[in-house]
């Protein structure tokens, strides 16, 4: 199976993801079709448990799909072995998570350069690129600070620097502002917007925050494992879910394990 990848960096076709614990099956994704063009900044929204994070994990190869195909620049992730997918992610993707995932014993620059060192980049070059990435996110003078010596906003900037240090084709962000106050959240999103506009870096961002989504160029709304609305931010009702969901009341982690737990409780 081949697809035209001249315009789209991500192409997903009929993606299905089923979590099977033996006692219950949860269909987290139900035949998703999705294209993301190079240079887009896309928000994925929906109520807790709708499949947002599951979709991001399947698109990025962090999780395997039950069926369907995911292509990144024409490369079919399903045809790769686990170690090949891991290497591909390290070389071509960046990740920003809600809770930073920084190693507390390492300095900021060491946390950033670790991605490159694991990819086989020589230490001197890895350090140079890590320092440049920290400079881009406004942390030029914080290279030697450990995470405990940084504010929440600064820690998330280190995470962003780590995501962009390998010059990725695409950055996946899962609730990147979920642990930040309003000021730091706005700063983080403006930084992502700048990277998107100046470097044409592609972002796919899972969020429940309408203010975060409003910075993006396109919003995808999900419900029950399906895409129910996909519109540019210029659309009059772009931020409105078809079912009138109030996103300000959302925010729980949308994980496969959480969905399985809820399904098991419902079946008792």
**CATH number of the domain encompassing residue 23:** 3.40.50.300
Average pLDDT, the chain: 87
Quote the number of domains for the chain.
Answer: 1
- Domain membership of residue 206 (yes or no) is yes
Helices (H), strands (E): how many in the chain?
Answer: 8, 10
Q: What is the pLDDT of residues 202-226, one digit of tens each?
A: 999 999 999 999 999 999 999 999 9
Q: 151: alpha, beta or left, given left = phi > 0 and alpha = psi -120 to 50? A: beta
Residue 37 has pLDDT above 80, yes or no: yes
Structural domain that includes position 149:
8-266
In a domain, residue 36? The reply is yes
Q: What per-residue confidence (pLDDT) applies to 20?
A: 86
What is d(CA 128, CA 263) in angstroms, rounded to the nearest whole number? 49
Neighbouring residues of 195: CB distance < 8 A, sequence distance ≥ 6: 136, 164, 201, 203
The answer to whether residue 2 sits within a structural domain is no
Residue with tokens 């100046």: 198
pLDDT band at 48 (very low <50, low <70, confident <90, very high): confident
- The pLDDT, as a whole number, for residue 2 is 44
Residue 33 lies in a domain: yes
Q: Say yes or no to pLDDT of 34 above 50.
A: yes
Residues 6+ apart with CB under 8 A from 160: 96, 137, 176, 188, 191, 192
Mean pLDDT, residues 82-104 taken together: 86
Residue 3 lies in a domain: no
Weakest-pLDDT range from 79-88, 158-167, 188-197: 79-88
């Amino acid at each position: 199976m081949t697809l035209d990848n001249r315009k789209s960096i991500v192409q997903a076709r009929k993606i299905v993801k089923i979590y099977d614990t033996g006692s219950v099956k949860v269909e987290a994704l139900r035949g998703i079709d999705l294209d993301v063009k190079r240079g887009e900044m896309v928000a994925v929204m929906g109520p807790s448990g709708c499949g947002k994070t599951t979709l991001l994990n399947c698109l990025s190869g962090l999780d395997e799909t039950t069926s369907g195909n995911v292509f990144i620049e024409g490369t079919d992730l399903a045809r790769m072995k686990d170690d090949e997918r891991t290497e591909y992610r390290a070389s071509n993707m960046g990740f920003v998570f809600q809770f930073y995932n920084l190693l507390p014993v390492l300095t900021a620059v060491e946390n950033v350069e670790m991605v490159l060192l694991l990819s086989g980049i020589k230490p001197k070059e890895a350090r140079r690129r890590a320092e440049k990435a920290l400079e881009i996110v406004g942390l030029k003078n914080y290279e030697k600070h450990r995470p405990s010596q940084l504010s929440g906003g600064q820690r998330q900037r280190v995470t962003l620097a780590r995501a962009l240090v390998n010059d990725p084709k695409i950055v996946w962000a899962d609730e990147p502002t979920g642990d930040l106050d309003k000021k730091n959240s706005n700063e983080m999103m403006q930084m992502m917007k700048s990277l998107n506009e100046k470097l044409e870096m592609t972002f796919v961002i899972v969020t429940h925050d309408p203010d975060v989504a409003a910075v993006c160029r396109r919003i995808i709304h999900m419900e029950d494992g399906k895409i129910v609305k996909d519109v540019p931010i210029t659309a009059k009702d772009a931020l409105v879910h078809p079912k009138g969901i109030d996103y300000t009341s959302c925010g729980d982690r949308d994980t496969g394990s959480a969905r399985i737990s809820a399904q098991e409780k419902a079946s008792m």
